[in-house]
Amino acid sequence: MKITRFPSNPGPAAWEAILPARAPFPVLETDETADWLIIGAGFAGLAAARRLSQARAGDKITVLDALRVGEGPAGRNTGFMIDLPHDLASNDYGGSLDADRATIARNRAAITFAEDMMRDLDLPKGAFQKIGKINGAASAKGMVHNAQYAVHLNALNEPSELLDAKQMREITGSTYYQGGLFTPGTVMLQPALFMRSIAQKLSSNRVTLYEQSAVRALDRVGDMWHARTDRGSVKAPKVILAVNGHAQSFGHFKRRLVHVYTYGSMTKRFPNDALSGTANWGLTPADPLGSTVRRISDPNGTRLIVRNRFTYEPDMSVSPAKLNRIWRTHDDSFKARFPDLKDIEIEHRWGGHLCLSLNNVPAFGEVDVGLFSACCQNGLGTVQGTLGGMMAADLATGHQSRLLRELLQLNAPSKLPPRPIATLGARARLLWGEKKAGVEL
Ligand SMILES: Cc1cc2nc3c(=O)[nH]c(=O)nc-3n(C[C@H](O)[C@H](O)[C@H](O)COP(=O)(O)OP(=O)(O)OC[C@H]3O[C@@H](n4cnc5c(N)ncnc54)[C@H](O)[C@@H]3O)c2cc1C
């Protein structure tokens, strides 16, 4: 299978750009044989590498990524590793109680796995902070969403705390929010630091990671898979495909994956005392199509990040004109929340590719002999990608568990309608949803 479409994410990877430069991982320039090949070094790929290295001590594992580690979507997200149901297609993020209990168990298994990596691989503390998150409400409708979500969480026996406008101001330094709902179990990542640190700590004589090494062809030859890059190749009997929406570029789940982009802007670093409130917080919007906002601070200063807008891009790239419109929305969202910071410049603006399925399920399982897919994370790849990578490794090594059985029992991603209808439908739905989000955007 010849691959003709490769990752394209607009703008710089801001979280990587604010870190000190690191030594590069090598580019693949030789012909190698390994026990395992993992394609993709995001949450799914690195979780699979970690799980395999634990389960198969002694096996040789090769990981290939088209980009630099931390520069793909795994290093471009807003860093919310959310333990609770967070269905972006639902009005209040929740589903049925039983389904939500299962989701929580899966999300927490992924968080525990990440927590174990933090401890066992001695990752830097700033990469992973379990500080919870707030669902911020800027409108009466948002307040109702939060109240309903709190009732739903209560029925699930999950702790949450409703916050009033004064408490929101004391935390965020902004008078924009009428209220919020705090939930304690979310981990806030510095996503690029998390990804690069895992990659560095996993690399050994058994796990070899090559970056800027896009797989251009993947074929089954005899009982081996044969992956070719521009300057080298890897042969392996078993492959884990951890390329998110690019599963389609490898010929799998055709017309079943929805390619969406979402976007972030990050301010320059400014003095901590220019904004009141607490030093580090993360806020998701009461309406799923509203704005996510984060503050990150250290003794040297503060940055604010806003993420909003989703666009449907079946060709997996975004036009510059569209990006300009999105940056204007970001500026408006910043100004509305932090009018006193109008002189603080935006330093980085970027977008990243997400994969959704119509029925909100992953593209998971053995898709060909010895080829395992851990793809399509429905916009929540910090947890769902981690879990997908862990479970793909378990499936490939024959390790049974309840979580794996649950994943295997999920339906396959549903088929999309013909392309013009899918495009019109998805774009209209997103625009209408964003309009309805009103001041939550
Ligand atoms: C702005 C933004 C904010 C987000 N915020 C959040 C958030 O707060 N919380 C959350 O849970 N999720 C968030 N997401 C979504 C999250 O980033 C993704 O769901 C997650 O990165 C998916 O993980 P993954 O490992 O499955 O795939 P990816 O991170 O997409 O990794 C796949 C890798 O495969 C590589 N690849 C593709 N094709 C090839 C090839 N031919 N050869 C070699 N390598 C290849 C890519 O380069 C890439 O590195 C956000 C995304 C964006 C863009």
Task: Go through the domains of the chain in sequence order and give each one's CATH number.
Answer: 14-409 (3.50.50.60)
Which tokens go with 162?
């409703």
Which tokens go with 280?
């580090």
Helical spans, DSSP H, in 258-412: 320-337, 381-397, 402-409
**pTM for this predicted structure:** 0.97
C-alpha dist (Å) from residue 314 to 33, 260, 415: 35, 8, 14
CB 212 within 8 A of CB 10: no
C-alpha dist (Å) from residue 140 to 162, 338, 437: 14, 20, 12
* 233-236: strand order across its sheet: 31-33, 233-236, 224-228, 217-221
Give nearest CA residue, ligand 1 atom 29. 74
Q: Identify the segments of the chain with pLDDT beneath 70.
A: 87-94
For a mutational test of ligand 1's pocket, the pick from 6, 8, 62, 65, i.e. the residue with the most ligand atoms closer than 8 A to its C-beta, is 65
C-alpha dist (Å) from residue 139 to 143, 180, 286, 436: 6, 11, 9, 11
Which ligand 1 atom minimizes the distance to the CA of 46? 25
C-alpha gyration radius of the chain: 21
278 Cα: distance to centroid of ligand 1 (angstroms): 29
Which ligand 1 atom minimizes the distance to the CA of 64? 43
Phi, psi of 374 (to 5 degrees): -125, 65
Dihedral of CA atoms 403, 408, 410, 415 in degrees, nearest 10, equals 140
For a mutational test of ligand 1's pocket, the pick from 244, 284, 373, i.e. the residue with the most ligand atoms closer than 8 A to its C-beta, is 244
92 Cα: distance to centroid of ligand 1 (angstroms): 24
Instruction: Provide the pairing of β-strand 258-267 with 128-129.
Output: unpaired
pLDDT tens-digit readout, 77-98: 999 999 998 765 665 566 788 8
Instruction: Provide the pairing of β-strand 238-241 with 36-39.
Output: parallel
Query: What per-residue confidence (pLDDT) applies to 93?
Result: 65
7 Cα: distance to centroid of ligand 1 (angstroms): 10
C-alpha dist (Å) from residue 211 to 44, 62, 201, 214, 288: 16, 11, 15, 8, 34
Which ligand 1 atom minimizes the distance to the CA of 215? 42
Query: What per-residue confidence (pLDDT) applies to 92?
Result: 56
Say how far apart CA 272 and CA 270 lie, in whole Å: 6
246 Cα: distance to centroid of ligand 1 (angstroms): 10
Query: What per-residue confidence (pLDDT) applies to 11?
Result: 97
Query: What per-residue confidence (pLDDT) applies to 85?
Result: 86
